[in-house]
Amino acid sequence: MNDLIPIVENRFRTYAENTDAEGIEASRAHRAIGGFSMGAVTTWYAFDEALNAFQYFMPVSGDCWSLGRFAGMNRPDDTAVYLAERVKQSSYAGTDFYIWAVSGTQDSAYSEIWLQIEGMARLSDVLNTTNLTFHQKARARHKFRFIPEYLYNALQFFFPKDNE
């Protein structure tokens, strides 16, 4: 938020009118973050700490470590409550964010993310199908080659074609 977003958004044409904290927050509806494996862990950290900078999140095959290493898998309910509280503390409760989580059914990290998503889904007053979905690809493993398909599908949810 302090380095990369300002560099990119100052150099290229984006929706940010300026790259101070207010400008980054004002343009968050045009910004997504996602990552695979440890990148998914980073995506969860962004959800935890930078909900004001991103509206869309795509964690791929990785859980949230905000409460410790593999906490999303080992402490899914605690992690879910923690993330729900972070949402409640923000001004983005409701449908002003979207998590498009994904993993392959044969992925070594499948249970890590799936257990956490199950815990999150139990908190439907904060996390529900309007802002949280889980997708899976049958027989897909923990391999980069599946990422283009995941990304292709997620981006259509994040930034749908304008019908005009």
Q: Are strands 132-137 and 98-104 parallel, antiparallel or unpaired?
A: parallel
Please give the pLDDT value at position 164.
Answer: 52
Of 49 and 1, which is predicted with more confidence?
49
Flag whether pLDDT at 29 surpasses 70: yes
What predicted TM-score, i.e. pTM, was given to this entire model? Answer: 0.95
Q: Which domains does the chain have, with CATH numbers?
A: 1-28 (no CATH), 31-158 (3.40.50.1820)
Q: What is the mean pLDDT of residues 150-157?
A: 96
Q: Which of residues 52 and 94 earns the better pLDDT score?
A: 52
| Residue 100, pLDDT above cutoff 80 | yes
Kindly report, residue by residue over 31-45, the tens digit of the pLDDT. 999 999 999 999 999
Beta strand segments in 3-157, E: 32-36, 56-60, 98-104, 132-137
Q: Which residues contact 121 (CB under 8 A, 6 or more apart)?
A: 127, 128, 132, 134
